[in-house]
Amino acid sequence: MEKGRLNKKFLEEFKEYDFSSINENKIYLVGSIRFKDYFIKIESILQIIYNKLVSICSIDGLINKNKFSTKEWDILQKIALNKLQYQDAILILDVNGYIGDHSREEIEYFNKKLKKPIYYLSKLKESK
């Protein structure tokens, strides 16, 4: 087996996704923390293979959401909305069709206020 993080076994899970259809350079990942493994893996794929600048709201928030108070989480959500202004596109990690309330808020903001491209993981799979 090939040595390295993005070896054949790692990439097998994502072979049906057409990440090459994302043309923009600065990509913001949006989705539920219940899919944190997708965030971690897709971030690596987009950065290493496709040379994208990938961002998320908060790594600590992604890993430890249940440890934040409501006030702290609201602050992180406001920061997420601010970070969106600097992105070229967002990729929604809509695993099994799930999109949470906070993700919907980010999508709506990106769509209505910024009017920039939005990609859905589920559609990247369908397009290949």
What digits encode the pLDDT tens for the residues 40-76?
Answer: 999 999 999 999 999 988 878 777 778 889 999 889 8
Of the pLDDT bands very low, low, confident and very high (cuts 50, 70, 90), residue 127 is low
State the Cα–Cα distance between residues 81 and 109, nearest whole angstrom.
7
CATH 3.20.20.10 fits 23-126, yes or no: no
State the Cα–Cα distance between residues 106 and 90, nearest whole angstrom.
9
- The partner residues of 119 in beta bridges, in order of sequence, read 91
Q: Is the pLDDT of residue 24 over 90?
A: yes
Report the pLDDT averaged over residues 27-50. 92
Give the predicted TM-score (pTM) of the model: 0.87
Secondary structure (H, E, C), the chain: CCCCCCCHHHHHCCCCCCHHHCCCCEEEEEECHHHHHHHHHHHHHHHHHCCCEEECCCHHHHHHHHHCCHHHHHHHHHHHHHHHCCCCEEEEECHHHCCCHHHHHHHHHHHHHHCCCEEEHHHHHHCC
